[in-house]
Amino acid sequence: MQLNVQTLVVVDIYVLMLVGLLMLHAWRRGRREATLGYLAAALLLGGLGTLLGSLRNLGIDWLPILVGNVVLHVSAALSWVALRVFAGRRVHWPEVAAGGALWALLCLWPTFYESQALRIQVYSLIAVTYTGLGAFELWRSRRQLEVDVRPALVLLLGHAGFYCARAVLDHDMPFDMVSTGSSFFSLLVLETMLFSIGIAFVTLAMVKERAELRYKSAAMRDPLTGIGNRRAFIDAAERLLADCVRLRRPAVLLLCDLDHFKRLNDHFGHAAGDQALADFGRILASRTRQQDICARIGGEEFVCLLAEADHGVALALAERIRQEFAELPFATGGQLSVSIGIATAEQAGYDLTRLLSLADQALYAAKAAGRNRVEAYRPDSR
Ligand SMILES: Nc1nc2c(ncn2[C@@H]2O[C@H](COP(=O)(O)OP(=O)(O)OP(=O)(O)O)[C@@H](O)[C@H]2O)c(=O)[nH]1
């Protein structure tokens, strides 16, 4: 198949600019997510660098050879920066400038400036380095990122592989894209175009996926205590109870209500009340295991569904939580306490609504018996 280099270069510039502008738009619309901003800059500079690189045979070779390539190296560096920022790391500007600076310095050396083969090899080396760094950023952060980074890794490694091949195979082919061109050069332009579209698409998808995960997680979290809210609890508890039925495992619910909380608010203000809520949430989270489901389901009402725990274990844990909270020194100087009601999933027939209701009856009994105590649900108690 014959690829017309001139046409490809024009299409390449057009595509890079267009995708760059679309990325800029996505950045502006998407709460100015830095990853998209850096990628937009990389794409636009890629288009500009390719445009400058195409200005051959005009008697101003320094423009394509020096300026055009420096711009392309900065563009490659910014693609790396986009992925680095996505992985939560800071930008290292000296490294961003290093590729272009190295190129500019080498251009002062006539042997390099006049050797097509040498320039191709150094260009490829810099391109492989920045692409490899981008892949490395994603690879080392793949677990924390919580999104699928594999498509991006495949693209980056393919791109780096292409430049490795170019360094080996494209020694002395003319770089004069406007007149002669080379078959490898046509492939290069084509590959750059496809890679740019691909990396823009997968990066946008990763950014969007992560934003959705963050919104979802924020919607399920109680901002004051950092533990789950009622909605998160209902979802997770229903799943846990279904697992308990299937695997014939026990579960116990603790329903906790801070005592005389209104009095604390009225005497010491809402900020003191908030502090007490945050302290209790912290105790609950630190005393329970990862598989337990803890949440703040109302003003001063907390729950904890203990997975694979029997009645005795739950009772001991509730007692420890009650005691720890009662011993906590408060900034106000006063003392606070919590009442806790307990019911087992078995008593409720593994039905969440009923389980909450039984634990509530036990809690009512704890309040009625003087507060600052733990009561377990007893079928004969009401
Ligand atoms: N500071 C603060 N107070 C809250 C929050 N949510 C609910 N409250 C307050 O919690 C108090 C709950 O009062 P009550 O339901 O009467 O319960 P109580 O005073 O703890 O009494 P008992 O439960 O019977 O011991 C109310 O004054 C609410 O305004 C919150 O997010 N922060």
Please report where in the chains the tokens 């679309």 appear, as a residue.
Answer: 22
First-last CA distance in the chain: 86
What is the per-residue pLDDT across 274-316, written as a single tens digit (0 to 9) for each? 999 999 999 999 999 989 999 999 999 999 999 999 999 999 9
Arch. (CATH architecture) of 230-376? 2-Layer Sandwich (3.30)
Domain ranges of the chain: 5-218, 230-376
173 pLDDT higher than 70: no
Ligand 1 centroid to residue 80 C-alpha, Å: 51
User: Is there an atom of ligand 1 within 6 Å of 259 CB?
Assistant: yes
Mutation choice for ligand 1 from 265, 270, 301, CB with most ligand atoms inside 8 A: 265
**Parallel, antiparallel, or unpaired for β 293-296 and 301-307?**
antiparallel
Cα 297–298–301 angle (5° rounding)? 85
Averaged over 233-250, what is the pLDDT?
A: 95
What is the per-residue pLDDT across 26-71, written as a single tens digit (0 to 9) for each? 999 877 899 999 999 999 999 999 999 988 877 788 999 999 999 9
User: Is there an atom of ligand 1 within 6 Å of 222 CB?
Assistant: no
Cα 124–128–131 angle (5° rounding)? 135
Choosing from 33, 137, 300, 375, which is the catalytic residue? 300
Q: Answer yes or no: is the ipTM higher than 0.95.
A: no
**Parallel, antiparallel, or unpaired for β 338-344 and 374-376?**
parallel
Tell me, yes or no, if the pTM score tops 0.90. Answer: no
User: Is there an atom of ligand 1 within 6 Å of 268 CB?
Assistant: no
What strand order describes the sheet that includes 374-376? 293-296, 301-307, 251-258, 338-344, 374-376
Residue 300 annotated to the active site: yes
User: Is there an atom of ligand 1 within 6 Å of 258 CB?
Assistant: yes
Q: For residue 371, which atom of ligand 1 is closest to its CA? A: 25
